[in-house]
A and B are shown apart, each in its own frame.
Chain A
Amino acid sequence: MSGGEHALESRLLKTGSERLALLGRHADVLMQAYTRDEVPLESLSDSALRKLLAARILWRPDEQSGVKLAPKVRELIAEMLADETRRHVNADVAETLELIRALVHSYREARSRGEHWRLEQQLMRLRQEVDDLNGRFADAIDSLWQRLNSDFGFVSQLNDKIRENDRAQKQIARLLDGLALIDFDELIELVGSDGGLRKLLISQLQQQLSHHYTSLREVQRRLIELMARFRKQQARSRLISGMAAFMREHPGFVPGNYARRSEVPGLVNQAAPLSAAAAPALDRNLDSRLLADLLHQLPQPRHTTQTVEAAAPAQAQESSLAAARQQALKQDVEHFYLSVIDQPQAEPVSALEYLHASPLEWPDEIWLFQVISEYQGLPRSDQKAFRLKQQESQASQFNHLRLIHDVELQLAV
């Protein structure tokens, strides 16, 4: 290994770490640039800006436009954050294959010339390229799974989800196309008999790629399923809002009576409910015992003890007599009400005049009392059918006691 090569390597290392450190030093500004369109220049000094531009962390598309984040850095941040809205799928396999072919040729040259150090370098770069290729597929597949598993949760609208799903399916198609470009027959020929290359480019790569292929097919299947679900949801939502709008616009809309058709559609054929009722039955010995047990388990009803008093016939007779008289009075008053209903022209009828004209022998006071209470006992709707007018006078000028002399009942027309 020559001294010049040593110097080159150490210079690369030094510049690389310096520039990587820039990322950390200006992390806040860079993240602001990531979320916005342009880099907020006010928070950067001139020299810092120059360094960031030199490191190609930032770039200026043209003189007029502002300073922006370099695409690779944006990609790096998106990758680190697993930010699915911006994660990028790079399926450019052709370019990598081209590079691998060139590296293999240059590796062979180095071997034939016995340049040991170059041989090592080429092998390392080959290994890196294969890892890169592998990593790109693994990353893309990871990103696709993330989006799938979150039901495209990073966008809220169904239409956006459908568009994202569509985009993801196109990415898969590109990745699969990329995989198809890798022709193992060609690679076998390319590596020839070299054991190390064979292991790296054939057995290892083949195993990894076939794993990616299976994963991609699985994601693709799931994406298509999810898309069908999205479309179904969209269709349902449209159907319901369409029907609701139609019914609002056509309030008199009545569909056909499907139940009267000769062939009743399956969907509207819904049988009437039946309840499977059961009651305790005592016609089986075994059950009777069980029922008896259940009966014993019931909580004791709390009856207050009732003393059975000795019958007192005279008293009972008297009270039943009173009840009978009360009933007779009520009936007579009801007849009075009926006669009021029968009045032609709905003329008012005086309760006392009716009583005196009839063969009834109730005291005036009791009669009036029952007529009034009958009126008050009527349901409100029936009360409205009658008008009860009381003839009354003030008992004395010293208080508000009023005496009722008579009442007149009239049909309210």
Chain B
Amino acid sequence: MIEHGPLLERLLAGEFVCPISDESGYRHLTNEETREEIDTYLRPLNRRLASNEDGSVYFLAWRQLNDNARDQLSRQLGDTLNSLLPLLEWLQLVQEALGRDTLAAPGDVLKPAEFSAKCEDNQSLRERLERLATDSFFGSQSDQLDAQVKQVFKRLKEHGYLLQPHSERQVFVVTGKIDYLVDLVRFIRDEENLPIEEGSEEGSGAQEALL
């Protein structure tokens, strides 16, 4: 277990472990034996190892859901829901600003400077960024574009969605926690039966075939 010390510490601190945030740690966790060892160790702490459906990201869950754990989970869920819309809007903004037709995915490299430059040239993006940055989740106090972008990236890093490989360089990498967020959104949609389409354009494909 000694060799897993640093990994355990990260997990206990509430971090999400994915191939981007901790490559070797993640590799260890893909081994079932290691997972069992870690679970045994976590038992007295009332915690267990958990992962999302794809197994692309690992984190710690409560083993026994006592009242305290439920209280904590309710609070946490509330926090997550409060930050959900700003996070989704950020994802959309990145996608549009960088002219991509896919969402930011684990391993994608994002540069605040590039992002600022795109927003600077486009009034609508600029306004959306401004609204987003001053949202209480991101909490920017500045009216300067660069400072706003910096604050947004800083908060995303604090929340584990982004990783900054070199502290002196303004280059960020998207982590696997984004996968968790997407899974959570899908879960909420399914649980609440929200009228949100996800599947491919089967309908229009069939129409094309008919034409």
> What is A's interface to B at a CB cutoff of 8 Å?
156-159, 162, 231, 233-244, 246-248, 254-260, 264-276
Do A272 and B103 touch (CB < 8 A)? Answer: no
Do B72 and A272 touch (CB < 8 A)? Answer: yes
| Identity of the chain A residue whose Cβ is nearest the Cβ of B45 in the assembled complex | A274
Min distance, Cβ A251 to any Cβ of chain B, angstroms: 9
Q: Give 1 or 0 for each of B173-207: 1 = CB within 8 Å of chain A CB.
A: 00000001011111111011011111110000000
Do B198 and A271 touch (CB < 8 A)? Answer: no
Do A260 and B95 touch (CB < 8 A)? Answer: no
Min distance, Cβ A75 to any Cβ of chain B, angstroms: 27
Which of B65, B81, B186, B194 is A269 in contact with, Cβ under 8 Å? B65
Given the complex of chains A and B, what is the CA–CA distance between A266 and B84 in angstroms? 19
Do A239 and B189 touch (CB < 8 A)? Answer: yes
For B117, list chain A residues within 8 Å (CB). Answer: none
Do B77 and A269 touch (CB < 8 A)? Answer: no
Given contacts A239-B185, A246-B195, 4 further A-B contacts (CB under 8 A): A234-B102, A236-B182, A267-B183, A274-B13
Given the complex of chains A and B, what is the CA–CA distance between A260 and B77 in angstroms? 11
Do A257 and B88 touch (CB < 8 A)? Answer: no
Do B62 and A269 touch (CB < 8 A)? Answer: yes
Q: Is B147 an interface residue (CB 8 A)?
A: no
| Identity of the chain A residue whose Cβ is nearest the Cβ of B63 in the assembled complex | A271
Given A247-B88, A269-B73, A234-B182 contact (CB < 8 Å): no
Pick the 6 closest A-B CB pairs, nearest first: A273-B14, A242-B196, A259-B73, A244-B88, A269-B61, A233-B102
Min distance, Cβ B70 to any Cβ of chain A, angstroms: 5
Do B88 and A158 touch (CB < 8 A)? Answer: no
Do B77 and A258 touch (CB < 8 A)? Answer: yes
Given the complex of chains A and B, what is the CA–CA distance between A237 and B195 in angstroms? 15
| Identity of the chain B residue whose Cβ is nearest the Cβ of A231 in the assembled complex | B200
Which of A162, A259, A270 is B70 in contact with, Cβ under 8 Å? A259
- B46, B103, B182, most chain A CB atoms within 10 A: B103
Q: Give 1 or 0 for each of B126-156: 1 = CB within 8 Å of chain A CB.
A: 0000000000000000000000000000000
Given A269-B73, A276-B9, A247-B192 contact (CB < 8 Å): no
Which of B95, B102, B196 is A246 in contact with, Cβ under 8 Å? B196
CB<8 Å pairs between A and B, sample of 18: A235-B199, A238-B196, A238-B197, A238-B198, A239-B186, A240-B103, A240-B185, A242-B196, A243-B84, A244-B85, A246-B194, A247-B85, A255-B188, A267-B180, A269-B61, A271-B14, A271-B61, A271-B62
Min distance, Cβ A23 to any Cβ of chain B, angstroms: 38
Given the complex of chains A and B, what is the CA–CA distance between A255 and B192 in angstroms? 7
Given A240-B92, A274-B45, A255-B81 contact (CB < 8 Å): yes
For A257, list chain B residues within 8 Å (CB). Answer: 74, 77
Interface residues in B, total, Cβ within 8 A: 52
> Using a CB-CB cutoff of 8 Å, which residues 35-80 of chain B contact chain A?
45-47, 50, 52-53, 59-62, 65, 69-70, 72-74, 76-77
Given the complex of chains A and B, what is the CA–CA distance between A385 and B62 in angstroms? 51
Q: Is B113 an interface residue (CB 8 A)?
A: no
Do B198 and A239 touch (CB < 8 A)? Answer: yes
Min distance, Cβ A48 to any Cβ of chain B, angstroms: 42
Given the complex of chains A and B, what is the CA–CA distance between A155 and B9 in angstroms? 45
For A268, list chain B residues within 8 Å (CB). Answer: 73, 77, 184, 187
Q: Is B105 an interface residue (CB 8 A)?
A: yes
Q: Is B171 an interface residue (CB 8 A)?
A: no
Given the complex of chains A and B, what is the CA–CA distance between A243 and B200 in angstroms? 16
Do A248 and B85 touch (CB < 8 A)? Answer: yes
For A274, list chain B residues within 8 Å (CB). Answer: 12-14, 45
> What is B's interface to A at a CB cutoff of 8 Å?
9, 12-14, 45-47, 50, 52-53, 59-62, 65, 69-70, 72-74, 76-77, 81, 84-85, 88-89, 91-92, 95, 101-103, 105, 180, 182-189, 191-192, 194-200
Do B12 and A273 touch (CB < 8 A)? Answer: yes
Do B102 and A267 touch (CB < 8 A)? Answer: no
Given A231-B200, A244-B85, A257-B77, A267-B187 contact (CB < 8 Å): yes
For A242, list chain B residues within 8 Å (CB). Answer: 189, 194, 196-198
Do A276 and B103 touch (CB < 8 A)? Answer: no
Given the complex of chains A and B, what is the CA–CA distance between A244 and B53 in angstroms? 22
Given A237-B95, A240-B103, A258-B191 contact (CB < 8 Å): yes
Min distance, Cβ B53 to any Cβ of chain A, angstroms: 8
Do A254 and B60 touch (CB < 8 A)? Answer: no
Min distance, Cβ B11 to any Cβ of chain A, angstroms: 9
Which of B105, B191, B200 is A235 in contact with, Cβ under 8 Å? B200
Do B74 and A265 touch (CB < 8 A)? Answer: no
Given the complex of chains A and B, what is the CA–CA distance between A238 and B102 in angstroms? 9
Given A235-B200, A248-B85, A254-B81, A273-B182 contact (CB < 8 Å): no
Given the complex of chains A and B, what is the CA–CA distance between A174 and B196 in angstroms? 38
Which of A233, A240, A259 is B88 in contact with, Cβ under 8 Å? A240
For A267, list chain B residues within 8 Å (CB). Answer: 52-53, 180, 183-184, 187
Do B101 and A276 touch (CB < 8 A)? Answer: no
Min distance, Cβ B94 to any Cβ of chain A, angstroms: 11
Given the complex of chains A and B, what is the CA–CA distance between A248 and B95 in angstroms? 18
| Identity of the chain A residue whose Cβ is nearest the Cβ of B65 in the assembled complex | A264
Min distance, Cβ A227 to any Cβ of chain B, angstroms: 10
For A236, list chain B residues within 8 Å (CB). Answer: 102-103, 105, 182
For B85, list chain A residues within 8 Å (CB). Answer: 244, 247-248
For B14, list chain A residues within 8 Å (CB). Answer: 270-274
For B105, list chain A residues within 8 Å (CB). Answer: 233, 236
Given the complex of chains A and B, what is the CA–CA distance between A239 and B182 in angstroms? 8
Do A260 and B70 touch (CB < 8 A)? Answer: yes
For A241, list chain B residues within 8 Å (CB). Answer: 92
